[in-house]
Amino acid sequence: MTTLKSNNFFFIILLLLVSLAFFSLIQPYYSAIIWAVILALIFYPLRMRLSALLGGRNGVASLITVLLICVIVFIPLMMVLSSIAVEVNSLYQRLQNNGTDLPQLLSNGIAHLPEWAKNSLRENDFDSVASIREKLSGVALSVGRYLAGSAVLIGKGTLGITVGFCLMVYLLFFLLKDGAELVRKIYAVVPLSATIKRRLFLKFAGVARATVKGTLVVAIVQGALGGIGFWFAGFNGSLLWATLMAFLSLIPAVGTAIVWIPAVIFLYSTGELVTATVLTLYFVIVVGLADNILRPLLVGKDTRMPDYLILLTTLGGLQFFGINGFVLGPMIAALFITSWNLLAQSRANTEKQAQ
């Protein structure tokens, strides 16, 4: 009996060490694995339909699904990124050709600010063209040194992104093809009751689908509306601002304001009072309603979490996990709530049986 307990103890220690080594080994590719799993969860119903149409040929159906994902998701994303690069270059060339003096432009804007704002800038030595030019030169010098010292790291980062993308597509194919069998194996290993495992898995899958689909729809809608607003206001590079707004809309409630509030302040400071007022109303009413209506419908409804909790967990997830956090944050919160609800139900059932 003692020998059996000793064997079990050492086996558990070995299992923990091997598991720790395994997860440390794949740690550089966590993002690729996470997104492969999320995309597999989202597109698995499509793979099932294709498999039924192809007479149960899961491999062919999975390959077609991956190709469709590339056409629907990855190729448009690359086209948008390419257009943004062209837009940034065009904006830079336009500023250069027009002889725009950024320090002078900022100084003119400061002249239209209220007195309390001028005093605050004056205290920080930011009230003259010379001081603005000096500070901007210092920033440019620091950025230049950073980029020069990080050239090798940038190259390695680009290689890492390429490898991670290829790995994600590779894993996505096998998750679509063999995902059901993998889930069955995980079910068999996890030491929980079938009911608890089923509820946790359904919550995990539901939150992942709802968060990604809902957040992407909201981002596309808010980015498009923001781009239209900036275009009508006469800002150059509306596609660039639209993309930036779509990206920052990952932060619920306040993300898009990070883009449009400085733009409105700039318009007010340069005397464009009517344009600034109209743009403010447009972003608050139209773009704000898009977030307040679509996000609860697409995210909150399926996750069954209140808006404030989605905001809190999204911000925490972005800070802790980076870009992956907008999915992982709400997912962890949903699993946390589900786990405690299961514990409460289990205790209630136990007390009922005891009575």
State the number of CA atoms in the 13 A half-sphere of 25 facing the CB. 6
Q: How far apart are CA 304 and CA 313, in angstroms?
A: 14
> Which of 224, 270, 252 minimizes the C-alpha distance to 315?
252
Query: In the 8-state DSSP scheme, what is residue 114?
Result: -
The predicted structure's pLDDT at residue 160? 67
What is residue 204's three-state secondary structure? Answer: helix
Instruction: Answer yes or no: are the C-beta atoms of 203 and 332 closer than 8 Å.
Output: no
Q: Which residues touch 230 (CB under 8 Å, ≥6 apart)?
A: 238, 241, 242, 263
Tokens matching residue 77: 């994303």
pLDDT of residue 143: 47
pLDDT score recorded for residue 32 = 83
What is residue 151's predicted lDDT score, i.e. its pLDDT? 44
Closest CA to 41 of 205, 165, 203: 205
Q: Can you give the length of the chain in residues?
A: 355
150 DSSP 8-state letter = T
Burial class (CB in 10 A: 0-12, 13-18, 19+), 219: buried
- Per-residue tens of pLDDT for the chain, all 355 residues: 566 566 677 778 888 888 888 888 888 788 888 888 888 888 888 888 888 888 878 788 888 888 888 887 777 767 666 666 666 566 556 555 554 555 555 555 556 566 666 666 666 665 555 565 565 555 555 544 544 444 444 444 566 677 778 888 888 888 888 877 887 887 777 777 777 777 777 777 777 777 777 777 777 888 888 888 888 877 776 677 777 777 777 766 667 777 777 778 777 766 777 888 888 888 888 877 777 777 666 665 555 667 677 778 878 887 887 777 777 887 788 778 777 777 777 777 776 766 6
Identify the sign of the CA torsion 228, 230, 236, 239. negative
The token pair at 197 is: 């495992």
What pLDDT was estimated at residue 108?
A: 59
Whole-model pTM above 0.85? no
